[in-house]
Amino acid sequence: MDLKNNKHKVSSKKLAASSAAGSATSLQHDKLSKFVSNLLRRRGVPDREALRVTLDDIENVATKGKWWLVGSAWAGHGSDGSTVRSVADGATSAAVIAGDNNAADLLKLAKTQRMSTDIRRSVFVALMSAEDFVDAYEKLTRLGLKAKQEREIVRVLLHCCTNELTYNPYYYLVATKFCAASHGYKITFQYALWDAIREFETGADDDDNDPSDDNDDDEEDAAPKDSKVLRKISHLAKFYSTLISGGFLGLTILKSLDFATMATYPALFCQLLFTHLLTSSPPAGPGGQPGNASTHVRNIFERVKSLKECADLCEGIEFFLDQYVTPRGKEGKPRMGVPVDSLGISLPARTDESLADVLKHRVKIVREVLVDDQNY
């Protein structure tokens, strides 16, 4: 005891023991926190979110509603319209995104396109009101959708893409932004493709089967159903082939397909997809010089060949290319499928070769990559 300075001297041993005890307690606390967090995550308990309640909300309960009760009519943050308050208010979201002048027209268009939920309508308005694909990406991210709700972005985007009269690369550019931002979007695009192929097999239309759609009396498109299905297949094949060619998706998105027993429409989709892929323009090289198309095609198929779990997929692709894509004879018709000249696919203007000659050459390159035994 230091009586002069009124201080209590602590021995170094006691100080060390106290410090060690504090460290042990802190370590135990960290371990316990991690254990509880993992336990809650395994049980599916959502992460805690900060209350989006201001002092004004608390003081004006009589006018703004009881914010602490689930389902109560709470007015939420401000009404100045500076941000999208909630996608649950479809009209408000559309007005904020597109501007009051265009909101009504876009919402009416969304109704004719059978956007049956507020989330889908908000996504549709964001896509249709954007100035370009960058603006569309920013508007869609500002919607503040949750993980499951974000899937609607992919489905609405594909709906719009396949319902255009002519293929519009705008939707592909929007998709590249989301694929580059999160791997989860790549998975959603994969599942959306599988759903579309199942629809082709059964002849069903996801819009026709939407239980929440109450617009069955709306005027139908004058085009025959077969014509609309063929247009959808064509646009979807072009869309996914460009995503694969650009490196945003891989050929593994086709791993659920049985290439040997395909129905007519799924086979046509794959024939178009592979034809687009084999004739696609490679990305520009250094200095803006055109890339080598043959090398580009080789790289695409080498990526899937390098995956051990995709051996069956590689065999299926090789079989499909041989039966449905490789032109034969003077007519350039594959053993199965549609004649090459009937696909409506054109080559770059600088190419002097015919489409059939290009396909034969590129298929040979792919076989060199996929087939282990080259004695064929």
Domain boundaries, the chain: 54-83, 250-376
pLDDT of residue 64: 63
User: What is the C-alpha to C-alpha distance for residues 33 and 41, in angstroms, rounded to an integer?
Assistant: 12
- What mean pLDDT do residues 237-244 have? 95
Tens of pLDDT, residue by residue over 53-76, are 677 777 777 666 666 664 444 555
Instruction: Taking residues 22-40, report their average pLDDT.
Output: 69
- Whether the per-residue pLDDT at 92 is higher than 60: the answer is no
Q: Is the pLDDT of residue 10 over 80?
A: no
pLDDT at 218 over 60: no
Angle between helices 170-181 and 225-245 (to 10 degrees): 50
pLDDT above 90 covers what percent of the chain?
Answer: 31
Most confident residue range from 52-56, 194-198, 284-288, 291-295: 194-198
Higher pLDDT, 10 or 369: 369
Confidence band for 99, pLDDT divided at 50, 70 and 90: low
- Find the range with the poorest average confidence among 189-203, 310-324, 337-351: 337-351
Query: pLDDT band for position 240 (50/70/90)?
Result: very high
Mean pLDDT of the 136-160 span: 90
**Which tokens hold the place of 326?**
């490789």
Q: How confident is the model at residue 109 (pLDDT cuts 50, 70, 90)?
A: confident
> Helix or strand or coil: residue 148?
coil
**Tens digit of pLDDT for each residue in 174-188?**
999 999 999 999 999
Please indicate whether residue 115 or residue 247 has the higher confidence score (pLDDT): 247
pLDDT of amino acid 329: 76
Instruction: Supply φ then ψ for residue 225, to 5 degrees.
Output: -65, -40
* DSSP notation for 228-282: HHHHHHHHHHHHHHHHHHTTSS-GGGGTT--GGG--HHHHHHHHHHHHHHHTPPP
CA–CA dist 18, 16 (Å, integer): 5
Is the pLDDT at 365 greater than 70? The verdict is: yes
Residue 276: is its pLDDT beyond 80?
A: yes
CA dihedral 239, 282, 286, 172 (to 10 degrees): 0
Helical H segments across 90-145, by residue range: 90-98, 100-112, 118-129, 133-141
pLDDT at 105: 74
Which has the minimum average pLDDT: 133-137, 164-168, 214-218, 269-273?
214-218
Phi, psi of 2 (to 5 degrees): -95, 95
pLDDT of residue 336: 85
Q: Could you give the residue ranges of the DSSP H alpha helices within the chain?
A: 12-42, 55-59, 61-64, 90-98, 100-112, 118-129, 133-141, 151-163, 170-181, 183-202, 225-245, 264-278, 293-305, 311-320, 355-370
Distances (CA, A) of 308 to 252, 303, 304, 311, 370: 12, 11, 9, 6, 12
Q: What is the residue type of 134?
A: V
> How much is the mean pLDDT over the chain?
76
